Structure 1
Amino acid sequence: MARWFYGLLLILSVAVLLSVYISPLHVPLAGLLSLGIPLLLLGHGVLFVFMLLSRSRWFWVPLLVLVLSFPYLKATFRWPSADRFQEARTEETLEVLSYNVHLFRYNREKRNPAEFRESIARWLSEHPADIKCIQEFYQDETTASTHMIRRLAQDQGMHISYQPVQRRRQRQSIGMAIISRYPIVNEGRVFDNSRNNGVIFADIRWNSDTIRVYNAHLESMSIQAEALKDVEGFKENYYDVARKIRNGQVTRARQLAQLQQHIADSPYPVLLMGDFNDTPYSYLYFNLRQNLSNAFERAGSGFGFTYNRVLFFLRIDHLFYQEDFFDVTDFKTYSAVDYSDHYPIGALLRKRSGTP
């Protein structure tokens, strides 16, 4: 009986682990299955310790699953290290930042959204990053306080590529922005969905090289996180949430194909960052890892959660880079900067030694 039980457990566990390699376009439920990977890792960790202490001869089953889970463990957690981010800055490093600013209108604890707008604008203006990718960028030219292109770029002597996705009025729009200390020599968009999602790019002259920076905001799931803050809310909204997760994963799989083709055609080394609306246990994440490296996995600390709402345990903002050109020296999640429903993420990179 035990042989059948542990055999079935092993088969099911491997099936869950392999679900990240199955496109939601072909099997929509595969994406839902992959969301169970964190619980799978936790469960097998507890089971392994229990079976080891009880001297069960079947301890090798959870041990084998944990060994097979190494790529997922690597994407989940890095041993915390001292924060030496600013100390690691040199003349040779390139500091980059990604931030979903929630239209500069985050409203929390019934506070005035204008307080958050001013806090986030001040923080972004003072941040020393050489390149800043901003999602949900709200531009309103009717007042000085909401003219963010001027405040965050022009007044700072920075270059900017702003791609509006949705225009509300003649002088008001929602879009995405790439702000750079270095000259922008080309710009454009990969796609957009006419709401506030999409991917844009800018070719930036960095010293003697040109690099291509992608700013991504992939399909949102439009889940009301507050509705899941207790057991009753979860029960009432379970099926609706599952449907939105499945539909979002299918749409992001289509967007991924467009993005990967654009990256493959890039004549320059690539940086890709933004709000991907997908966890590290997803088809999208593991596909991007095939050709790009993830900065958190190389230089992050802790769990690196980036979502600032009820579902606080999510890391859905990512930074990928082309490893044959860049080295990442440090990565940081700014979890103390709570002016939006996302935390900013940043990294220090340098040109790989020996690269022409």
Structure 2
Amino acid sequence: MRISSFFAKIMFALNMIFFLILLLACIVPYTASASLAFVSLAVPVLVFVNMLFFLYWLFKFNIRMLLSLSVLIYGYFALDTFVVFNSIEEVEDTSNTLSIMSFNSLGFRGKEDEWKSTAGDTIVKFIQRENPDIVCFQEFDYRKIRSHFFEEYPYKYVDFNFDVDEDKVIQAIYSKHKIINKEIIEFPESSNSAVYADVIVQKDTIRVYNLHLESLNIRPSSIKRERSDKLFVRLRNSFSKQQQQSTIVRSLINKSPYPIIVCGDFNNTQFSNSYFTIKGSLNDTFLKKGNGYGKTINFWKFPFRIDFILVDPVYEVLSHHNYEINLSDHEPIMATIKIGNE
């Protein structure tokens, strides 16, 4: 009995720890504390562990099951879900639709960064095959600007100049529809940036944002060699910059005279402050029409969803697709929305 009682106390203590951490994660999106941002990365694991504790106490008919159950319910309403199951419907009538793809293409060089990589040509063929109306590239290859690639996209905006810092992360928007205005949004003390283009689609003018928030610059091999305190400070600074950059983007979104579409690599999950700041009342196309976990990148073999397409609620989301083409460290995503009135 003593052994059983001791084991129950240990289990309850562990339950309390994971309960409190998940509760803290529910607060992270609503606070500007960069030091707490780490917790949001672990939300799926925290949910899974709390579900196990809930089931453990449930099978024992112990009232302690309410502890994890309560934080799971609260987390669902505070953070939304990270696994969705929507019916897959083919978009048959494309006369009043717009398809948008977002892809961090890693400079078209292939995720292994090999000089002989053929990833660039394969990416071009992939875009041609999927044929989206608008493509937003993060980490674009500037050599594609003046090439014969993407001739089916007569309008484009690439934020590249040959006299600018070579370390700058290049963003690009390619469109089949006319671009009437375009601008770059420089982020302070960062090689990252955002761009937007005002695109005319039928009778609508839509402002399309393409952004790449501050990178965490984490590589599994470097973590083992870096002191934990220095790693913490570096990551905290990255999270802080993401929050600053997301505030800049949100302020511009609020001033937009047109409906909004946001594409980008947020370098953080949907449980982060930066995601919540930018999303606001916009619809996440994955949550509306996606399926499964929605992974867009693997880190240490752990799946994360850090690439997003967010659309103005005036437009109906018809479909969302996550690809697995293994041509970059990120995977592309594409959504189709309904444009115009009945």
Shift of 1:317: 0.5
Q: Deviations over 1:86-109 (max 9, x none)?
A: x4562111100001111111243x
> 2:79·2:271 contact (CA, 8 Å) conserved in 1?
no
Q: Which residue number corresponds to residue 150 of structure 1?
A: 147
Q: Which residue number corresponds to residue 334 of structure 1?
A: 323
Consecutive unaligned residues of structure 1, counting only runs of 5 or more, are: 141-146
State the SS of the aligned residue for 2:246. Answer: helix
Q: Given the superposition, is the C-alpha separation of residues 13 and 119 from structure 1 closer, same or farther in structure 2, using an over 3 Å criterion?
A: closer
> 2:158·2:171 contact (CA, 8 Å) conserved in 1?
yes
Residue correspondence of structure 1 range 82-231 to structure 2 within 5 A = 82=88, 84=89, 87-88=91-92, 90-108=94-112, 112-140=115-143, 147-153=144-150, 155-164=151-160, 167=163, 175-192=170-187, 196-227=191-222
Q: Deviations over 1:118-164 (max 9, x none)?
A: 11122223331001001111213xxxxxx3453344x2252111112
Residue correspondence of structure 1 range 1-356 to structure 2 within 5 A = 13-24=22-33, 28-71=34-77, 74-79=80-85, 82=88, 84=89, 87-88=91-92, 90-108=94-112, 112-140=115-143, 147-153=144-150, 155-164=151-160, 167=163, 175-192=170-187, 196-227=191-222, 233=224, 238-308=228-298, 310-323=300-313, 325-335=314-324, 337-351=325-339
In 2, Cα distance between equivalents of 1:162 and 1:236 = 36
In 1, Cα distance between equivalents of 2:93 and 2:147 = 27
In 1, Cα distance between equivalents of 2:18 and 2:43 = 14
> 1:124·1:152 contact (CA, 8 Å) conserved in 2?
no
Instruction: Please say which of residues 34-43 and 186-195 is displaced more in the overlay.
Output: 186-195
Q: Given the superposition, is the C-alpha separation of residues 41 and 77 from structure 1 closer, same or farther in structure 2, using an over 3 Å criterion?
A: same
Q: Given the superposition, is the C-alpha separation of residues 309 and 34 from structure 1 closer, same or farther in structure 2, using an over 3 Å criterion?
A: closer
State the SS of the aligned residue for 1:304. Answer: coil
Identical-residue share of aligned pairs (%): 25
Shift of 1:303: 0.6
Q: Given the superposition, is the C-alpha separation of residues 127 and 330 from structure 1 closer, same or farther in structure 2, using an over 3 Å criterion?
A: same
In 2, Cα distance between equivalents of 1:310 and 1:7 = 27
> 1:165·1:173 contact (CA, 8 Å) conserved in 2?
no
In 1, Cα distance between equivalents of 2:84 and 2:261 = 22
Shift of 1:192: 4.0
> 2:22·2:47 contact (CA, 8 Å) conserved in 1?
no
Shift of 1:247: 1.3
In 1, Cα distance between equivalents of 2:154 and 2:262 = 20
Shift of 1:310: 3.3
Shift of 1:10: 5.2
In 2, Cα distance between equivalents of 1:63 and 1:184 = 50
In 2, Cα distance between equivalents of 1:165 and 1:257 = 26
Shift of 1:311: 4.4
Letter of the 2:317 partner, please give it.
V
State the SS of the aligned residue for 1:177. Answer: strand
Q: Deviations over 1:7-53 (max 9, x none)?
A: 787555423321221103xxx31212333322221111001111111
Letter of the 2:133 partner, please give it.
D
Root-mean-square deviation over aligned CA pairs: 3.0
In 2, Cα distance between equivalents of 1:338 and 1:8 = 37
State the SS of the aligned residue for 1:106. Answer: coil
State the SS of the aligned residue for 1:103. Answer: helix
In 1, Cα distance between equivalents of 2:169 and 2:319 = 31
Count of matched residue pairs:
332
Q: Given the superposition, is the C-alpha separation of residues 167 and 120 from structure 1 closer, same or farther in structure 2, using an over 3 Å criterion?
A: farther
In 2, Cα distance between equivalents of 1:297 and 1:167 = 41
Instruction: Please say which of residues 14-23 and 342-351 is displaced more in the overlay.
Output: 14-23
Letter of the 1:276 partner, please give it.
F
Letter of the 2:295 partner, please give it.
F
> 1:223·1:244 contact (CA, 8 Å) conserved in 2?
no
Q: Which residue number corresponds to residue 3 of structure 2?
A: none
In 1, Cα distance between equivalents of 2:165 and 2:276 = 39
Q: Given the superposition, is the C-alpha separation of residues 275 and 311 from structure 1 closer, same or farther in structure 2, using an over 3 Å criterion?
A: farther
Q: Deviations over 1:298-348 (max 9, x none)?
A: 11111111115534411110111111x11111111112x111111001101
Shift of 1:79: 2.1
Give TM-score scaled by structure 1 length: 0.83
In 2, Cα distance between equivalents of 1:22 and 1:57 = 32
In 1, Cα distance between equivalents of 2:297 and 2:87 = 21
Letter of the 2:337 partner, please give it.
L
State the SS of the aligned residue for 1:137. Answer: coil
In 1, Cα distance between equivalents of 2:191 and 2:162 = 7
